[in-house]
Copies of this chain bind each other. A is one copy, B any other.
Amino acid sequence: MSQGMNDQGINNQDLKSKVMIKIQDDLKKIEDSLKKNLNAQLELAREIAGHLLFGKGKRLRPLLMINCAKMCGYHEKAESVKELIDFAIVFEYLHAATLLHDDVIDEADMRRGAKAAHKIWKTPKVILTGDFLLARSLSIATKTENLKIISTISHITEEMAQGEIDQLNQKGRLDLSEDQYFEIIRRKTAVLIEGACKCGALLANASKEKQDALFKYGYHLGIAFQMADDLLDYTSDAKTLGKNPGADLREGKLTLPLIKTLQRAQEKDKNKIEKIIQAQEFNQTEFDELVVMIHEYKGVDYTNEKALEHVKNAKACLELFESSEQKELLTMLADYSIQRKV
């Protein structure tokens, strides 16, 4: 796959514009609801959570939930649409809660093009704001009084928490396998996205078949999305990315491009790479050299191919549904997941 073109040959920028036009109304409602639901709360949480929430977030998770619900025939009475949005923000809050704790844990400097929260506020406040957002999410979920939805949210939080611990335990491990990588990114990213898509189906009282299809769509999209993220950490630049590339490596996190490179590399190159991983420190020249190796050993190509497979699988899950504006958007989002620059 040539980067910048999807398999229908649509240009990256065009795809982004098309997606943006389709989502702009929902996006505005999401922003309003995110604010409203924090306004009633504490000043500090609003400030810290707001720094992250109203940065450059893509709102992918609430948008997915809303569009899955609508595609499944969720009725658009004025008040119910409002409820849909108010519930959808759970997925942005959960995401933000994880990012806040992650950034503390990884001692990250940057997030979404701005300083990471714990670089502005003291760590305790950031930890507690994460706790607060998690609690707030569960509170909003509980208000649906829908046991399947509550159970989905509760399952998400447990899987994500376990995933975080797993990831931490596996930091710096040179022998991380491809399977272990996929299990990490499933829990880290796909669990929340598949949960958002499934909740959309649940809110619309869709059939079990449709629930499962959207759950799978979310799984494949989430995996593809995270793989694209992991690729960008080697192929993008700080300005585009909103944080320094090479962050994963600096944090001892092995991702697929590097795992594949290590598998394929000659002894000499392998040793060089392993040294960098173990030191968790490198200069620009070393990083550039590493990036060249990742390209040469086709770590990038392999990751791209695998990600594309997941995009195809995601789109295949939508075949069950009749044509609709939402189906078109969900298809575009699948393509966009691996074509984005940030």
Contact = CB atoms under 8 A, between A and B. Distances in A.
Nearest to A138: B154
Interface in A15-52: 41-42, 44-45
B42 A129 contact: no
Given A150-B150, A154-B142, A158-B138, A165 B101 contact: no
A127 B154 contact: no
Contacts of A129: 165
A42 B165 CA distance: 8
A101 B131 contact: yes
A53 interface: no
A9 interface: no
Given A142-B151, A157-B135, A162 B101 contact: no
B164 A128 contact: yes
A165 B129 CA distance: 8
A168 interface: yes
Interface string A94-106: 0000000100110
A116 interface: no
Interface in A131-160: 131-132, 134-136, 138-139, 141-142, 145, 147, 150-151, 154-155, 157-158, 160
29 contacts: A42-B166, A42-B169, A44-B165, A101-B127, A104-B124, A104-B127, A105-B124, A105-B128, A127-B127, A128-B168, A129-B165, A131-B131, A131-B134, A131-B161, A132-B162, A132-B164, A134-B134, A134-B161, A135-B154, A135-B157, A135-B158, A135-B161, A136-B161, A138-B154, A138-B157, A138-B158, A139-B154, A141-B154, A142-B147
Interface of A: 41-42, 44-45, 101, 104-105, 124-125, 127-132, 134-136, 138-139, 141-142, 145, 147, 150-151, 154-155, 157-158, 160-162, 164-166, 168-169
User: 7 closest pairs, A vs B, by CB?
Assistant: A105-B124, A132-B161, A135-B157, A135-B158, A135-B161, A142-B154, A131-B161
